[in-house]
Structure 1
């Protein structure tokens, strides 16, 4: 059953990635949008628990850690989609299992098999091909640094979710704390950005055609449904499944974004990019099979 939950979560996160990319190309305040995303998650999980009645325990405080890591990961992913190539940024969103496997080894003694080591090096080789496929032109490598941050902090988020499940935390209470934490952090980020705009330190031309606050919040809350449902589904997957396998399956949400970038956005790929992306996918598949 955990496998079904993991696949369903991957589908939700794939749709979230597509919506993030589409929205990142619009004149919209990023922090206000993501505030809406996390407010939506807070409302959904809090309202859901009012009916289900899961117990609130001190373990729910793991949500603070989850919310902080998720805040950095989502902000980095959105920024990457705004300034970089969608397929390259999306690739990094598929690599948190590497981070999870390494951290899980030190925390819980989950060792790596020969196949996992092989997959690790295949993925790294694919990343190098993607990185250098643009002949080292810096202006064409935009987004990679945000992709790396996305990879690291989504990995840390997965690890903190696993920690929460091992501690016995109830799903909806810990997710409510997580989304509340994210809402506060994005709210602070939005307030800081707004203050800079009012002080005139940011380019005023960029704010002229921006979506209204109400429209941005409402759209963010709609996008937040995919994020909230994905997190609700991933919890039982981590509770009953093996950490590395669940993380690898969920990471396959990258396929949705890369296919969207190729067939809807009509992004052109060089031969090296195709080879690098293919190698990385093969590595992720080996992780999924061999974990």
Structure 2
């Protein structure tokens, strides 16, 4: 059964990446969207737990850290999809094992064998090929920056998840705390952005009343555009996207508990393939031979790392 759970998690996370990429190209308020994603996760986890009755142990406190790290990771991933190539951002969503293996060595003394070291060499070589591709442009470099942040904080989320399982935390209460924390952070960010946007509007109005044409302050990202989605539509869509997010986590945690960790990780990492296929065949992204070689090597390194960890 754990194999089915792992495959289902990979499918859910792949769908999440596709929805994030598609949504990032729409005139939508990012913080409100992600607030909806995490609000959905919170409500679903709490709602299911009403029927399952999983206990609330002390380990669920780790969900606070999971929520914080996931907040940063998801915000970075969404921003990366907005400014960079979908295939590159998707690649970095599959690279957190690099962070996890290094941190596991430092925290718990887990050593690397020869196959794991080989995997790291393959991954690094792949990343170097991508970084120094002749087709790499400034916008894609910016996307690479967000991809690296995504990799780092998804890795930290995984480490926090592992610590929570070591403390005996139940899946649904843990996810409720995690998503509740993320919803609070994104909701606060949205409120701050609205406040900044309103102040910007007041200053523009004051400048117009005074007859000044020299007001040049940069508008906040949340200033509405003529075609921008309404708050209700944005929130509703975010809650829909959140279903794929929380479903992936609900499937993944039992898979880790019941199955072989390395194999489960390898299967769940295959969510990257869904986004890569979407980028290649739907978005029609054209990649140079060097980028294709880098992506292939890096993906091969991910598979080796997860299979042999």
Instruction: Give the TM interval when normalised to the shorter protein.
Output: over 0.9
Counterpart for residue 235 of structure 2: 217
The 5 Å alignment of 1:154-165 reads 154-165=154-165
What is the CA RMSD across the aligned residues, in angstroms?
1.7
Inter-partner Cα distance in structure 2 for 1:162 and 1:256: 25
Range with bigger deviation, 169-178 or 201-210? 201-210
Counterpart for residue 238 of structure 1: 256
Inter-partner Cα distance in structure 2 for 1:213 and 1:96: 33
The 5 Å alignment of 1:255-270 reads 255-270=273-288
TM-aligned CA deviation for residue 281 of structure 1: 1.2
Inter-partner Cα distance in structure 1 for 2:49 and 2:185: 23
Over residues 247-288 of structure 1, what are the superposed CA-to-partner deviations in whole Å (9 max), with x where a residue is unaligned?
A: 443222111111100000000001110110011111112123
Counterpart for residue 80 of structure 1: 80
TM-aligned CA deviation for residue 135 of structure 1: 5.5
Alpha-carbon distance change, 140 to 107 in structure 1, aligned in 2, over 3 angstroms: closer
Alpha-carbon contact 1:2-1:237 (below 8 Å) kept: yes
TM-aligned CA deviation for residue 202 of structure 1: 2.1
Over residues 35-94 of structure 1, what are the superposed CA-to-partner deviations in whole Å (9 max), with x where a residue is unaligned?
A: 000010011000101001111122111110110110000000000000111111111111
Where 2:225 maps in the other structure, the secondary structure is helix
Inter-partner Cα distance in structure 1 for 2:223 and 2:29: 13
Check if 1:249 corresponds to 2:303: no
Counterpart for residue 274 of structure 1: 292
Inter-partner Cα distance in structure 1 for 2:249 and 2:68: 15
Alpha-carbon contact 1:97-1:248 (below 8 Å) kept: no
Alpha-carbon distance change, 45 to 139 in structure 1, aligned in 2, over 3 angstroms: closer
Inter-partner Cα distance in structure 1 for 2:106 and 2:78: 30
Unaligned runs of 5+ in 1: none
Range with bigger deviation, 249-258 or 210-219? 249-258
The 5 Å alignment of 1:193-208 reads 193-200=193-200, 201-202=219-220, 207-208=225-226
Unaligned runs of 5+ in 2: 201-218
Counterpart for residue 302 of structure 2: 284
Alpha-carbon contact 1:18-1:260 (below 8 Å) kept: yes
Alpha-carbon contact 2:68-2:182 (below 8 Å) kept: yes
Alpha-carbon distance change, 248 to 111 in structure 1, aligned in 2, over 3 angstroms: farther
Alpha-carbon distance change, 54 to 138 in structure 1, aligned in 2, over 3 angstroms: same
> Which has the larger Rg?
2
Counterpart for residue 99 of structure 1: 99
Inter-partner Cα distance in structure 2 for 1:63 and 1:284: 26
Q: Provide the TM-score with structure 1 as the length reference.
A: 0.95
TM-aligned CA deviation for residue 139 of structure 1: 3.5
Inter-partner Cα distance in structure 1 for 2:263 and 2:31: 32
Range with bigger deviation, 8-17 or 248-257? 248-257
TM-aligned CA deviation for residue 237 of structure 1: 2.3
Inter-partner Cα distance in structure 2 for 1:136 and 1:214: 38
Inter-partner Cα distance in structure 1 for 2:221 and 2:307: 49
Alpha-carbon distance change, 135 to 267 in structure 1, aligned in 2, over 3 angstroms: closer
Range with bigger deviation, 237-246 or 150-159? 237-246
